Amino acid sequence: MYASEPSAGGLGVVGMIALVIAGLFVGREVFVPVALAILLSFVLAPLIRLLQKLHVPRVLAVIGVVLVAFAGITALATVMATQVTHLAGDLPRYQLTMREKVQSLRGSAAGSSALERAADVLQDLGKELDRPQGDAARPANPLTPSAAPAAETKPIPVEVRQPDSGALQTLGAFITPLIHPLATTGIVIIFVIFILLQREDLRNRLIRLAGSHDLQKTTAALDDAAGRLSKLFLTQLALNAAFGAVIGVGLFFIGVPSPVLWGILAAILRFVPYIGAFISAAFPLALAAAVDPGWSMLLMTAALFIVMEPVAGHVVEPLVYGHSTGLSPVAVVVAATFWTWLWGPIGLVLATPLTVCLVVLGRHVERLEFLDVMLGDRPALSPPEIFYQRMLAGDPAEAADVAEEFLKERSLSVYYDEVALAGLRLARADALRGVLDEARLERMRGTVEELVDDLSDHPDQEPTSGRTVDPEAAAAVDASGEGLGIADLPVLAPEDLEPRFTGEAPILCIAGQSPVDEAAALMLAQLLTKHGLNARVEGAASLSVQWISRLEAADTAVVCLSFLDAGSPAHMRYAVRRLRRKMPQAKILLGCWVADATVAESLREAARADLVASTLRAATALCIELARRDTIEPSKAVTTANAA
């Protein structure tokens, strides 16, 4: 009985999706105008806000902008219809040129005679199959006298003439093909006007349907999403229009007929990513081949599209509005296929804008988050989760590749604090739940050690130039926030160090309990080395009664204890007590990597440590302040490090 419940739930979800798709298909006569109206409202909204800032009444601004927009669309449609009519009248002139080119190709193609013989055989076979059965059964013997042919009776021609149509019938035949596009245009105009007039009311209803518990946050998110979509669609419209204008001008100078038509078509089809520009190029290429007796026009037309599309897609677009539209390449292809199947050619043009709207809703509405996961170009896992997964898989090389992309925009200490430590905290939480055994934790420690070694060539400083193109690294950069690590920590020269910090390894980093604590200690030791401080790392076993006596204490100035969780204050206290007995001259810094400075400070008081830090960067800053000759007081050092 219980086993059937999930299946029933799954069937319910599938049934709901099928019902929605069926509704979109059956009601496409209504949903297509609504979709067009929504997208046009995003494009026109900034213009209406601009007019409102100029104290134009909202109703007047909406009606004026909508009428001007649809007047422009009507003018473009009229120009396209005129160009198509003119081109259709000129096509018979190009038929002879195309026939001569086909014959020249057939004559120059290798093996054309064999192909022609094969075509003749197939044609004879088709005639044999089409012969009536009686004729096929009759023996074809030339010696047998044939019967005299019967007199053939010629069919009597019959001509059916329609009576002359009246004026009303002629008018009806002219208007009937225009009824559907005119009705669709009227519906779109009405929807656009009401959407723009009731924009805030529709937003509030969407918030209500989303069921958000944080009204302020959801309102701000949806307003931000609407602003971003308006900017994206308006910018894309401007870029595609510029692309179409360049194509039209280029085709005009090349000499391809109807260049205005192909320019408008290129601008429209460029809303279809990846394949739109190639589809728009097919028509002028075919026309160039038909018009020019030679091949120069065809080659110049192909060169125009081959040059302009990469320039527009890979140079202009990233400079204007970023690297991509926020959709994964697979989502773009799937969306284009789905919407084309559902709504035909208009669905192909609307596929990307509609999918972008769905992804933006998924990013800002909690119940629709699955849309962002399925269709968006952002990684499905968070940067710490990706790091944790790579460490579990024992793949330091791939993690190092993403880290190096991250380091193009952020410092090494920011990567360790924001990505690596957060991933290690996930591992520590799984270990406390009993999901990870000691052997897997030890393998993770070894993987982190390899990663730290791979990143040993990178300095711990904010990059001055460079921008990552890797989506995982870009997501990690966005999650790290602005301003982290902007003020670089100083790199101390040997003459800047206190005498007790000039030894071989004056700073000792010790893991608190587990191998992942030791992995964090490895990162801290590397950061200290980047800033001119020598450090060594010991495992958690060195804190036991049997092994602590073997620690070299004479040259140790600072001991950094590394803990990835705050759940063992008693263990911290006993570790600090044993270290004080062994190294009374050393400062003890409690590194509690819990991402909460207040919790870390309370643990320092409970463990009776000298200093505390909640991030690797803060711990590095504390050690720098202790090691430099012009050191400040420890209480001020704590404040400075926590601020860093």
Selection from 627, 635, 596 nearest residue 613 by Cα = 596
Tens of pLDDT, residue by residue over 484-531, are 545 678 888 888 888 888 888 889 899 888 888 899 999 999 999 999
* Predicted local confidence at residue 137, as pLDDT: 47
The amino acid sitting at 171 is L
pLDDT over 50 (residue 52): yes
pLDDT over 90 (residue 403): no
Average pLDDT over residues 550-578: 83
pLDDT over 50 (residue 292): yes
Residue limits of CATH 3.40.50.280 in the chain: 507-627
Average pLDDT over residues 365-392: 80
Tens of pLDDT, residue by residue over 174-214, are 566 667 777 778 888 888 888 888 877 777 777 776 655 66
* End-to-end C-alpha distance for the chain, whole angstroms: 58
Q: What's this model's pTM, rounded to 2 decimal places?
A: 0.61
State the pLDDT confidence band at 313, using cuts at 50, 70 and 90. Answer: confident
503 phi and psi angles, rounded to 5 deg: -75, -175
Question: To 5 degrees, how large is the angle CA 355–CA 360–CA 365?
Answer: 125
> DSSP letter string over 388-416?
HHHHHTT-HHHHHHHHHHHTTTS-HHHHI
What's the Cα-to-Cα distance from 362 to each of 107, 470, 527, 584, rounded to whole Å? 59, 22, 39, 57
What 481-485 contacts at long range (C-beta under 8 Å, 24+ apart), as own/partner pairs, is: 484/410, 484/414, 484/417, 484/418, 485/410, 485/411, 485/413, 485/414, 485/617
* Predicted local confidence at residue 111, as pLDDT: 46
* Predicted local confidence at residue 6, as pLDDT: 46
State the pLDDT confidence band at 245, using cuts at 50, 70 and 90. Answer: very high
What's the Cα-to-Cα distance from 554 to each of 497, 536, 558, rounded to whole Å? 18, 14, 11
State the pLDDT confidence band at 249, using cuts at 50, 70 and 90. Answer: very high
pLDDT over 70 (residue 169): no
pLDDT over 70 (residue 643): no
State the pLDDT confidence band at 170, using cuts at 50, 70 and 90. Answer: low
Crossing angle for the helix pair 4-26 and 329-343, to the nearest 10 degrees: 60
Tens of pLDDT, residue by residue over 439-477, are 888 898 899 999 999 988 888 888 877 777 777 777 777
Q: How far apart are CA 393 and CA 60, in angstroms?
A: 62
State the pLDDT confidence band at 217, using cuts at 50, 70 and 90. Answer: low
pLDDT over 80 (residue 388): yes
pLDDT over 70 (residue 131): no
Average pLDDT over residues 249-273: 87
Q: How far apart are CA 46 and CA 53, in angstroms?
A: 11
486 against 35, higher pLDDT: 35
Average pLDDT over residues 401-412: 86
Identify whether the C-beta of residue 609 lies closer than 8 Å to the C-beta of residue 583. Answer: no
Average pLDDT over residues 210-234: 69
Identify whether the C-beta of residue 418 lies closer than 8 Å to the C-beta of residue 484. Answer: yes
Identify whether the C-beta of residue 514 lies closer than 8 Å to the C-beta of residue 431. Answer: yes
Average pLDDT over residues 100-107: 64
Q: How far apart are CA 514 and CA 441, in angstroms?
A: 8
Tens of pLDDT, residue by residue over 597-634, are 777 788 888 888 888 888 899 899 999 998 887 644 44
Identify whether the C-beta of residue 496 lies closer than 8 Å to the C-beta of residue 532. Answer: yes
In terms of average pLDDT, the best of 67-71, 138-142, 172-176 is: 67-71
Q: How far apart are CA 243 and CA 226, in angstroms?
A: 25
- Percentage of residues in the chain having pLDDT higher than 90: 6
Q: For residue 592, what is the enclosing H or E element? A: strand 587-592
Q: How far apart are CA 393 and CA 376, in angstroms?
A: 25
Least confident of 7-16, 461-470, 568-577, 606-615: 7-16
Q: How far apart are CA 27 and CA 14, in angstroms?
A: 20
Residues in a beta bridge with 560: 509, 589
Cα of 320 vs its chain's centroid, Å: 16
Three-state SS at 546 = coil
* Predicted local confidence at residue 136, as pLDDT: 47
State the pLDDT confidence band at 582, using cuts at 50, 70 and 90. Answer: confident
219 against 53, higher pLDDT: 53
pLDDT over 50 (residue 389): yes
- Percentage of residues in the chain having pLDDT higher than 70: 77
Least confident of 58-62, 136-140, 408-412, 563-567: 136-140
pLDDT over 80 (residue 392): yes
Identify whether the C-beta of residue 189 lies closer than 8 Å to the C-beta of residue 74. Answer: no
* Predicted local confidence at residue 359, as pLDDT: 81
Tokens matching residue 526 = 């590397």
What's the Cα-to-Cα distance from 139 to each of 121, 126, 127, 143, rounded to whole Å? 22, 20, 17, 11
State the pLDDT confidence band at 130, using cuts at 50, 70 and 90. Answer: low
CATH of domain 507-627: 3.40.50.280
Mean pLDDT of the chain: 78
* Predicted local confidence at residue 1, as pLDDT: 42
Question: How deeply is 127 buried, as exposed, middle or buried, from its count of CB atoms within 10 A (0-12, 13-18, 19+)?
Answer: exposed
